[in-house]
Amino acid sequence: MNLKPLTIGDLTIKYPIIQGGMGVGVSRCRLAGAVAKAGGMGVISTAQIGYDEPDFDKHQIATNLEAIGKHVRKAKEIGKDGGGAVGVNIMVATKDYDRYVKAACEAGVDAIISGAGLPVTLPGLTEGYEHVKLAPIVSSKKATSVILKMWDRKFHRTADFLVIEGPKAGGHLGFSKEQLDHMDEMDYDKEIIDIIECKKTFEEKYDCKIPVVVAGGIFDHADIMHALSLGADGVQIATPFVVTEECDASDAYKQAYIDATAKDIRIVISPVGMPGRAVMNPFLEAVSKGRQPITKCFNCLEKCDPKTTPYCITKALTNAVEGDLDHGLIFCGSNVDRLHEMTTVPELMNKLIYG
């Protein structure tokens, strides 16, 4: 079955597929641009996006802000005329979150997707950039209600679209470790349906459509069709895009995905304070035995104390994306074990769209 376009206000994306943001450095301009060119929404992760720039060691935040503009513009150039769009993923937990949001707006991004915390201030930070579509990442009806009520009360507006991220997603997760340990007992389809029902109040008030995009464990065309059958308007997919030639990560990082088995997948506690899903490797074995000393702070998280945090997440993610897997954190989705070979963005998009 052919997939219908995803319409978000006055923005129409050829296919209802959003490539999830992955940091540090896994989804930057090459991947996001290729997805936009193929008719989806490519998403750049702003998490330490300038990690490989010359001034990063001395001026992390300034370098990242400049890199946001650079990568958004490059992605839009790569993706032009493809019928897609370019978005950014900005974690609420990011230090100087407001500056990252404004840098993305100034760069001309099409959408901002924000999670790892509740993005309650996001509409106020984007005033004057009404063309930028805003999407909070939610994992429950309760979180959805809190955010939409706050945006309504404080900013007299609602979300342009919602990203519902389920328990099978990669990276940071909006669930407790106990919930994730009993993931198979969840009826998450019901939660998705409840969230879709919850947003109808705000659609009526603002006389608009708030598209819902389902994320977490979406692997193939059948998964997309299932999400749409629940009432979703589109899907967000991340893990399968890592093993594409266009992905911005190192070949070693991509090979780790291909080599991973189901028993290699672990739930870890990130310095962000949230559980995350990752591939077991020597780095995680070392972390399980004790705190990894931090010799330098990279100013990435608002609430992080280098004296007490179990390890430096910037260093761990940077090592991984550059190929030093023995000292790196490799975030992944629950279906990483189903990946067995390299592909390209056009080939993957074709399989997702047509089955």
Report the C-alpha gap between 220 and 73 in whole angstroms.
Answer: 30
pLDDT in tens, the chain (355 residues): 679 999 999 999 999 999 999 999 999 999 999 999 999 999 999 999 999 999 999 999 999 999 999 999 999 999 999 999 999 999 999 999 999 999 999 999 999 999 999 999 999 999 999 999 999 999 999 999 999 999 999 999 999 999 999 999 998 888 988 898 888 888 999 999 999 999 999 999 999 999 999 999 999 999 999 999 999 999 999 999 999 999 999 999 999 999 999 999 999 988 877 889 999 999 999 998 887 877 777 777 777 677 778 788 889 999 999 999 999 999 999 999 999 999 999 999 999 999 9
d(CA 25, CA 45): 7
Backbone angles phi, psi at 276, to 5 degrees: -145, 160
Among 245, 219, 246, 250, which residue's Cα sits nearest to residue 24? 250
Cα torsion for 230, 12, 81, 48, to the nearest 10°? -70
Residue 12 phi/psi, 5-degree rounding, is: -115, 130
Identify whether 92 is preceded by a cis peptide bond (ω within 30 of 0). Answer: no
- What is the β-pairing status of strands 265-269 and 275-279? antiparallel
CA atoms within 13 A on the CB side of 69: 10
Phi, psi of 116 (to 5 degrees): 55, 50
Query: Phi first, then psi: what are they for 219, rounded to 5°?
Result: -120, -35
Element (H, E) at 138: strand 133-138
Looking at the DSSP bridge assignments, the partners of residue 114 are 90, 136
